[in-house]
């Protein structure tokens, strides 16, 4: 993959789209997203595309299995306190490799905090789709405990890889 070429394509897209260029120029002054999305690092799950968002509209935290550990909590805290985020979405998805690995007791390098968090959430659930839903719902519960004074909305949705439907 030619990274510089990809960036040139992006620059060309911005420069040929007056609205996008104006958006980018305004974002230089600061960001004001209203939505924070915690989603999986899976390359098939791209919240900006799934939610039809442009530059600056969402604050995204990506981690395998869309779990919230120490670093993610710090990012969420920053978004709440400094960006005044009023909506948090945990976006799980079908066919999640991290969920699959935990259910099938597969080890993956450096994943212990992620695997422990998923295992804690899904317990002995063996159906991967159900496990993805439960994992996301448990992360919502966790955030509500960690941010008890948060006045915004915290919810989860599941992105279906096969249909591209968010439910």
Question: Residue 31: pLDDT band by 50, 70, 90 thresholds?
Answer: very high
In this prediction, residue 137 carries a pLDDT of 98
Q: Where are the domains of the chain?
A: 1-30, 31-159
Distance CA 121, CA 156 (A): 14
Superfamily of the domain at 31-159: Carbonic anhydrase (3.40.1050.10)
pLDDT exceeds cutoff 80 at 109: no
The pair of structure tokens assigned to 67 is 């779990």
C-beta separation of 131 from 101 below 8 A: no
How high is the mean pLDDT of the chain? Answer: 96
Q: Are residues 35 and 157 in contact, defined by beta-carbon separation less than 8 angstroms?
A: no
Predicted pLDDT of residue 110: 72
Of 66-80, 89-103, 107-121, the least confident: 107-121
Q: Taking CA 122 as the corner, what is the angle to CA 116 and CA 123, rounded to the nearest 5 degrees?
A: 80
How many Å apart are CA 122 and CA 117, to the nearest integer?
Answer: 9
- The pTM (predicted TM-score) of the whole model is 0.94
């Amino acid at each position: 993959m030619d990274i510089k070429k990809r960036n040139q394509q992006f620059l060309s897209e911005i420069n040929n789209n007056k609205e996008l260029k104006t958006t980018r120029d305004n974002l230089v002054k600061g960001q004001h997203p209203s939505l924070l999305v915690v989603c999986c690092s899976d390359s098939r799950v791209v919240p900006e595309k799934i939610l039809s968002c442009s530059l600056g509209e969402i604050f995204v935290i990506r981690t395998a299995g869309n779990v919230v550990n120490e670093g993610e909590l710090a990012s969420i805290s920053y978004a709440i306190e400094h960006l005044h985020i009023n909506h948090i979405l945990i976006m799980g998805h079908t066919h999640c490799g991290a969920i699959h690995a935990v259910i099938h007791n597969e080890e993956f390098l450096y994943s212990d905090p992620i695997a422990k968090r998923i295992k804690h959430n899904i317990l002995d659930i063996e159906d991967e789709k159900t496990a993805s839903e439960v994992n996301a719902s448990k992360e919502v519960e966790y955030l509500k405990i960690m941010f008890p004074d948060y006045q915004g909305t915290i919810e989860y949705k599941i992105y279906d890889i096969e249909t591209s439907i968010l439910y």
